[in-house]
Structure 1
Amino acid sequence: MPFIELKSNLAAASFSEDFVKKLCSCTAAALGKPEERMNVVVNPGLPMLMAGSSSPCVMLSVSAIGVTDTAVKNKEHSAKIFEFLTRELSLTEDRIVIQFHALEPHQVGKKGTVMSFL
């Protein structure tokens, strides 16, 4: 049950419902997870600096159990997600950064318990 959080200084109009659905599909495919397990949030219009510049940018956080725990896996995920974000948002790669967080099953609560017990 991955968590995807996109933060950007781009206006809310840049992130249609269709974009959010495509982001869900892209990240699900990249991580090898079913779309119905994805949790996606987009936070647009934020005051942001990246590399000292307030030019349009995106910070993406990817948190998941079992698929973000090695450099090799995250290199593959990164390539797929960067391709999507650069194409969909017309940003250059230097205006996008992705953070990968490896979660353990006991760190994710669902249905009144944690994933360890589901």
Structure 2
Amino acid sequence: MPRLSLDTNLPSSKIPDDFLSGALKVLSNTLGKGPKFCITLVNSGLKMTFGASSEPCGIVQVTSIGSLGPEENKKHIAAITDYVHETVGIPKNRLYVFFQSNTPESTGYLGSTFHQLAIVEKGARLA
């Protein structure tokens, strides 16, 4: 259930059509999770300021069950920040990235939790 969302003040016309598919690849690769379960989204055209300026800025939020931590996040933030900067032009010093580690029992899918699906049922419905 890895998720990457970008909130930005850039207008939607500045977000390339392939941004979401590229972000999905970056997320899947850096976290080591199958793209089948990854979600990417963009909220563009928001009224935002960063450091009292309305120049292009953004917030990236990444959630995942596992694959996050002090050492892992160093790799993730580099990959994600580089991708966002290169594809939409938000300067790296105007972009925050927040990581949220979710637990299997607090994350749902297929009308159940990942704990039930992966641990109890041993992944039978996830294949």
TM-score bracket for the superposition, by shorter chain length? over 0.9
Larger radius of gyration: 2
Deviation at 1:90, TM superposition (A): 1.8
Counterpart check, 1:29 vs 2:29: yes
Deviation at 1:10, TM superposition (A): 0.2
Q: Provide, for residues 79-104 of structure 1, a one-character-per-residue CA deviation record: whole Å limited to 9, x for no partner.
A: 11111111111222111110000100
4+ runs of 1 displaced by more than 6 Å?
none
Runs of at least 5 residues in structure 2 that lack an aligned partner in the other structure: 118-127
Q: Provide, for residues 25-65 of structure 1, a one-character-per-residue CA deviation record: whole Å limited to 9, x for no partner.
A: 11111111111110111100000111221110110000000
User: May I ask how many residue pairs the two structures share in their alignment?
Assistant: 117
Counterpart check, 1:105 vs 2:92: no
Secondary structure, in 3 states, of the residue corresponding to 1:54?
A: coil
Deviation at 1:2, TM superposition (A): 0.6
Secondary structure, in 3 states, of the residue corresponding to 1:17?
A: coil
TM-score (norm 2): 0.87
Runs of at least 5 residues in structure 1 that lack an aligned partner in the other structure: none
Q: RMSD across aligned C-alpha pairs, in angstroms?
A: 1.0
1:50-89 aligned at under 5 Å gives the runs: 50-68=50-68, 70-89=69-88
What is the aligned partner in structure 1 of residue 10 from structure 2? Answer: 10
How much identity, in percent, do the aligned residues show? 28
Q: Provide, for residues 62-86 of structure 1, a one-character-per-residue CA deviation record: whole Å limited to 9, x for no partner.
A: 0000112x11111110011111111
